[in-house]
Structure 1
Amino acid sequence: DSEATSFTAYSSLSTDSHNYTMQEFALRYFRKSLLLLDQTGGSAKKAAVNLVQYSKVRSQAPIQESLIDLRNDDMSKQAVAGFQVLMQFMGDQSKPRSKDELVLLYELLKLCREEDLRDEMYCQVIKQVTGHPHPEHCALGWSILSLFTGFFAPSTTLMPYVTKFLQDSSPNQELAQNSQENLQRTVKYGGRQQLPPPGEMQAFLKKQAVRLFLIHLPGAVDYRTNIYTFTVAGEVLEELCGQMGITDPQEVQEFALFLIKGEGELVRPLSSHEYLNNVVTDKDMSLHSRRLGWETPLHFDHPTYIETHYSQVLRDYLHGKLMASAQADAQLAQLAALQHLSKASKSPPSEQELLAYIPKPLQWQVNMANIKNLVDQELRQLQGHSSQTAQISFIKATSQLPLFGYTVYMVLRVSKIVLPGPILLGLNHQHLVLMDSSSQKLCCSITLKDLQRVQLLSPLEENGPPGLELNYGSADKPQTIWMELPQAQELQYTIIFLLNSSMTSTQWPGLN
């Protein structure tokens, strides 16, 4: 009776104060019979401390029942077995001959993946790292907790107690700080969920889990960064943008990391919440970054910012994706002169250089003699311009071209549209447009928010390009258009990426 009275009084006090200590959680949610363990007449508060503190294990069955009342005998048995695995991993019990650290680690992760057992496994590890007398054993327990927090968040009931526990522990414990950061990341990005391959976990156990990644930017610029077990694409993108002087979160969202496999058999943008160790799994995979959105005003206050933007725009221009006109000699000459100045060249351009400054689709349509005379005039007028100034001027000049600010694809064939040659497809956060590259005429415009479905189609002909079918419009007036292009799958992924980035839901239903 006195113990019951003490328990009720302390429980009521905890309800009012909301300290969110693990002792408070134990009094609320642990099996009440456990209040008698290790208790020799002390208060319920002292009993609660014992419930969430390491105690020496004297038997092969450290606990007889789950710490939390799971109300399921099978779950309770799994919890008991999990506690023993935890003891074996931490070195508090001898390991079975058939199991090494890696096997035990996966067993613990698989138990924590079970939603009904997740809070139980969190509580078991927290109990065993609290007051553990052997630092090396305790560190192994913390390593497990750092993995739990990075993969699976506890329930909303346990969350404030775990958060408080990590906050109180982190000032003097590096692994506690790591666990706190991992938990914050899991809350923000959803947790890694997918268990890692054995090689990665072996590296984790050996404290060698850091991977050096190269991010390839336009203009042959490479950015080196370290990737950890729970690094997500959004963090790397934010870090990368910071190195270019980009601090506005809205502008950061206009960039994307692209995963490229091999020679381009897979090209897709990565969502900000994707864990990089989950997606970059093969040696022939690489990460590239480029700008997808151009709504934020450009600012030319950082050399890497200028160089990468110039290189991306230049590549699109020279491939004919910005729709310069063969009849606009003055414009072509100005852009050619700026390209030459960007190389900081002191001598006039050669005929071969001059031809290379013209977009490839126009090289045989323009009067090169006239272009040369106009370029010479431009170079005299621009004398004294630095390479960087020329690059900025080039970006500003090309920003007046029809498809500037769009991601552009060359489409070989489109339903409903009959044209003598290929047409250009432009994609940004709001629209998908189709334009005749010869006449610069707008053939079709689809608002992205009107898209209902985007479906990849098999090639219609052997060795032909794949297709993409778009269903859009209202329920009353549904419309369908299909197109053929070599980058159909990349286009599909990019459309989904842009839709997801502008919607509150984490998954747009139109990916097929």
Structure 2
Amino acid sequence: MADDWVEKTDPRTGRIYYYNKALKQTSWHKPDASAKGAETWVEKTDKNGKRFYYNPITKVRSMVDPTGGFAVPDGRALKKSQRTSAFKGRVSRGSSFSGSFSGRARGMSTESMGSIAGGRKRQSINLHNSVIIHEAPTEDRFAKLKALANVDDSHSSIDVDAMASQLEPEEDLSQYDWENWGTQHFNLKKLKRKPVHVDELLRWTNMPIKRALQTMSHPKLDKKAQNSFKYIQMFMGEFTGPASKALPQSEAARAVLKIAIDDSPDELRDEIFCQMLKQVTNNPNPTNELKGWQLIALAVGAFPPGVFFEPFLRRYVDETRGNTRDAEVQKYAQYAKLRLDMSIQAGPRSKVPCDEEIAATLNRKAVSIPVFFVNGQEVKMQAETWTSVGDLKDAVSKLLHINDNAIFCISEVGEDMSEYALPDTERVLDVLSDWEEEYGSYKSPKDIIRNKFVFKLRLFVEIDPTDDAAVDLAYFQAVHDVTDSRYPCSETDCIRLVALQAQEMYGNFSPNGPFGDEFEQFLPGSFEASAPLKHQVMQEYESLAGMDKKTAKLEYLKYVQEWPSYGCQVFPVSPENNPEYPTDIYLAVNARGVFIIDPPTKEFLSEFKWDQIMNWGNSDETFCLVLGDYLQQAKLWFRTEQPLDIKRLVEAYGIRIKKDRT
């Protein structure tokens, strides 16, 4: 794909840009084919069922398959019916699984979400003597945006000027006058035998437009342009048609953004920006003008302009934030400038913003995102239109002082307990939009969040004992899974683990301590609180005298990590080239390697250690595991609905195992 990007020069400015004829896309920056994942195209489907292709690395979107038929399906785009069954399996310490499995299209995990779904009472997560139930500090990159939301109205012009002066110096935009753009690109042909003057097209009107402002390459684009102008007028409160056909402001905003985001070429997106600028130019109503700038700020964060129109839009925004006398318009113009900068770096959104994001943006605020932990506690984080899942994970890790966050992930957990480890490249607010599409709102009528972002362990590897926060989270997740019987254990296991948990929570054994009264709360769900069992646990607990809290946590983790199936994530697959396996099997992945499991018996049919695995790969419907050494290899092919999910997990473990060994 890198060879399809041709370097060109803007004849007016001499500025270099890149054009892809196949994709009909332009960019100031040449997509880096050497970047990891640059050739990974994801097949997606919009709300109308129309297929398109998106590269999360290069931020390029295409209506044609750039891979020639090898784009991977989007794991999050699977039908709801394919991913509603939660994993109900239980993992034994031995070589087989006990319990039952039910298919789950997003991958099945032995880890439980427990009290997020209303499980047994758990202790609070305490890190650095602070319970994590507070508002997280705003990230540095949001500081200017938050300042814009909190500017004192009585000093708004001074504050906005001060913030503007902190921006990096811009290139000279004097030649990019919007009137020049209109003269060069607007459709000035006669309309019903009447001459059309460019100044009429550049300025506000209360009438609908009968054709696009610019000369469009296709009649369908012209029709979309007329519709977008109608929705812009609705948003600004200037629609002159029947009141019954007018949309509420939020719906009108979504309608405009949908036209721009859904498979639209640069020329239509630029047309929509031109329409917005037209309606805020010489607008006689200050209230409506402010609404227009709210919409501009919303739009530039959702989709960037084309490379040719970008400097013209920048100049218009810069002049407004520097010259207007309206303090509120100044703030929205400044906000639009900041969002435009980030949008150009991040690329267009793949989803239309949800209602919550629109409401937050119209108030110049980031969206508050609750991130949960396995015990149900949460932190409040901030997300802007460009915030990726990786950004969110980094922010949570920074808040908790985690040194090694590569072993953690942000998982999407549904109300049916289906679970999906989100890729770091996914936009956080695109996930919210998906939830809104699926449920109408990602919150129930009682304001209970249906879907959740959950920060949890993804790679169940040995943790650096000096990384206190990582140890704490891994320990609490292990305790959570064991006590919820995600790992059925023997009586010996139960006695040892319950005693370690008591030592960590209460310190040295005391005959009159609180543990005796709360003993039952510590037991895995499969055990009854009998007197003989309690006596044995008390004896084991007493033998741990002198062990500090951290050592108790590390000993607990060391114990469960010896279980062969600890941390397995399981995927339903069908073998393609090995008749020895049943037709339907499970592929399980953890720190020990990759396992083949027989669903009816839960027995391990094959086990491949990491030093046996040479390589791996995937197509749109299959996953391939390459075994052997440099002299002799064997390939195992598996048909699956989740080839990319399996590949990502195997790759993450493979990279981590190699790093730990070196």
Question: TM-score under structure 2 normalisation?
Answer: 0.51
Report the structure number with the largest CA radius of gyration.
1
2:351 partner amino acid: Q
Name the CA distance, whole Å, in 2 between partners of 1:376 and 1:69.
83
Alpha-carbon spacing, 1:258–1:309, altered in 2? closer, same or farther (3 Å): same
User: How far is 1:145 from its partner?
Assistant: 1.7
Is 1:278 aligned to 2:433, yes or no?
yes
> Can you list the C-alpha shifts for 1:130-164, whole angstroms capped at 9, x where unaligned?
56554322221122223322332322333455456
Quote the residue 1:138 is aligned against: 289
Quote the residue 1:223 is aligned against: 379
Name the CA distance, whole Å, in 1 between partners of 2:389 and 2:185.
46
Whether the 8 Å contact between 1:79 and 1:120 is mirrored in structure 2 is yes
1:428-467 paired onto structure 2 within 5 Å: 431-433=593-595, 443-445=607-609, 447=613, 449-452=615-618
User: How far is 1:230 from its partner?
Assistant: 7.0
Quote the residue 2:173 is aligned against: 21
User: How far is 1:218 from its partner?
Assistant: 2.4
Quote the residue 2:401 is aligned against: 245
Question: TM-score under structure 1 normalisation?
Answer: 0.63
> Can you list the C-alpha shifts for 1:414-433, whole angstroms capped at 9, x where unaligned?
99579xxx9994435x9534
2:454 partner amino acid: H
Is 1:394 aligned to 2:555, yes or no?
yes
Name the CA distance, whole Å, in 2 between partners of 1:186 and 1:227.
14
Whether the 8 Å contact between 2:185 and 2:214 is mirrored in structure 1 is no
1:55-454 paired onto structure 2 within 5 Å: 55-57=203-205, 60=207, 66-72=212-218, 75-76=221-222, 78-79=224-225, 82-83=228-229, 85-87=231-233, 89-91=235-237, 94-102=240-248, 104-113=252-261, 114-115=264-265, 116-129=267-280, 132=283, 134-163=285-314, 166=317, 173-184=330-341, 186-187=343-344, 190-195=347-352, 213-225=369-381, 232-246=388-402, 251-264=404-417, 266-272=418-424, 273-274=426-427, 275-281=430-436, 282=439, 283=444, 284-293=450-459, 298=464, 307-316=472-481, 335-344=497-506, 346-347=509-510, 353=519, 373-379=539-545, 381-382=546-547, 385=548, 387=549, 389-390=550-551, 392-394=553-555, 397-398=558-559, 401=562, 406-408=567-569, 416=580, 425-427=588-590, 431-433=593-595, 443-445=607-609, 447=613, 449-452=615-618
Whether the 8 Å contact between 1:219 and 1:307 is mirrored in structure 2 is no
Alpha-carbon spacing, 1:409–1:208, altered in 2? closer, same or farther (3 Å): same
User: How far is 1:174 from its partner?
Assistant: 3.4
2:506 is paired with a residue whose SS is: coil
1:192 is paired with a residue whose SS is: coil
Whether the 8 Å contact between 1:68 and 1:120 is mirrored in structure 2 is yes
Alpha-carbon spacing, 1:445–1:182, altered in 2? closer, same or farther (3 Å): farther
> Can you list the C-alpha shifts for 1:229-273, whole angstroms capped at 9, x where unaligned?
776544433332222123x6xx44432222222332x22122332
1:98 is paired with a residue whose SS is: helix
1:290 partner amino acid: K
> Can you list the C-alpha shifts for 1:108-127, whole angstroms capped at 9, x where unaligned?
33442332411111122234
Q: List runs of 5+ in structure 2 lacking aligned partners.
A: 1-9, 17-169, 190-196, 445-449, 628-632, 655-662
Whether the 8 Å contact between 2:302 and 2:385 is mirrored in structure 1 is no
> Can you list the C-alpha shifts for 1:388-435, whole angstroms capped at 9, x where unaligned?
x35543366448636598445599x999579xxx9994435x953469
> Can you list the C-alpha shifts for 1:309-341, whole angstroms capped at 9, x where unaligned?
321132345678789998xx7x98765543112
User: How far is 1:492 from its partner?
Assistant: 7.1
2:562 is paired with a residue whose SS is: coil
- Identity value in percent: 15
1:257 partner amino acid: I
> Can you list the C-alpha shifts for 1:290-327, whole angstroms capped at 9, x where unaligned?
1213679646566x65543321132345678789998x
Larger RCO, structure (CA 8 Å, separation 6 or more): 2
Whether the 8 Å contact between 1:432 and 1:448 is mirrored in structure 2 is no
* Count of residue pairs the alignment pairs up: 441
User: How far is 1:212 from its partner?
Assistant: 5.6
2:419 is paired with a residue whose SS is: strand
Name the CA distance, whole Å, in 2 between partners of 1:258 and 1:395.
24
Alpha-carbon spacing, 1:449–1:223, altered in 2? closer, same or farther (3 Å): farther
Whether the 8 Å contact between 1:65 and 1:77 is mirrored in structure 2 is yes
Name the CA distance, whole Å, in 2 between partners of 1:169 and 1:298.
53
1:137 partner amino acid: N
User: How far is 1:375 from its partner?
Assistant: 4.2
1:24 is paired with a residue whose SS is: coil
Aligned-pair Cα RMSD in Å: 5.7
1:256 is paired with a residue whose SS is: strand
1:343 is paired with a residue whose SS is: helix
Alpha-carbon spacing, 1:27–1:470, altered in 2? closer, same or farther (3 Å): same
> Can you list the C-alpha shifts for 1:77-113, whole angstroms capped at 9, x where unaligned?
6545644653454345635433324364454334423
Whether the 8 Å contact between 1:339 and 1:357 is mirrored in structure 2 is no
Q: List runs of 5+ in structure 1 lacking aligned partners.
A: 1-10, 38-46, 456-468, 483-487, 504-512
Name the CA distance, whole Å, in 1 between partners of 2:233 and 2:533.
80
Name the CA distance, whole Å, in 2 between partners of 1:501 and 1:434.
19
> Can you list the C-alpha shifts for 1:453-491, whole angstroms capped at 9, x where unaligned?
696xxxxxxxxxxxxx855339x9542469xxxxx98x8
Name the CA distance, whole Å, in 2 between partners of 1:90 and 1:190.
26
Q: State which drifts further: 136-145 or 332-341.
A: 332-341
Alpha-carbon spacing, 1:77–1:374, altered in 2? closer, same or farther (3 Å): closer
Name the CA distance, whole Å, in 2 between partners of 1:51 and 1:151.
28
Whether the 8 Å contact between 2:187 and 2:213 is mirrored in structure 1 is no
User: How far is 1:226 from its partner?
Assistant: 5.7
> Can you list the C-alpha shifts for 1:41-78, whole angstroms capped at 9, x where unaligned?
xxxxxx99x799x6353x7366x764444344664465
Whether the 8 Å contact between 1:254 and 1:292 is mirrored in structure 2 is yes
Name the CA distance, whole Å, in 1 between partners of 2:391 and 2:645.
20
Quote the residue 1:507 is aligned against: none
